[in-house]
Amino acid sequence: MLQQLRLGYCQQVSPMDLKRYPHVALHDRTRGHRAPIGRSRKKWIDYIREDCAELGILITHATH
């Protein structure tokens, strides 16, 4: 169920203007401080890639 919700959200956000906050956050084009030492946190797009891999679809199909 979470996969479907994430992919649905991705399909809604992808056609948005590149300057809109949801689109920027999904594609992680933000600026900020360096991450603390250790494993980096997962980004939204990482979850989308995992969902696509599990479902056997291309990420381009999920984002359009």
- Beta carbons of 14 and 63 less than 8 angstroms apart: yes
Q: How far is CA 22 from CA 12, 13, 14, 18, 45, in A?
A: 10, 6, 9, 9, 12
Q: What is the pTM of this model?
A: 0.54
pLDDT in tens, 3-53: 888 888 777 887 888 788 777 777 665 566 666 777 777 777 788 888 888
Residue in the block written with tokens 């992680």: 28
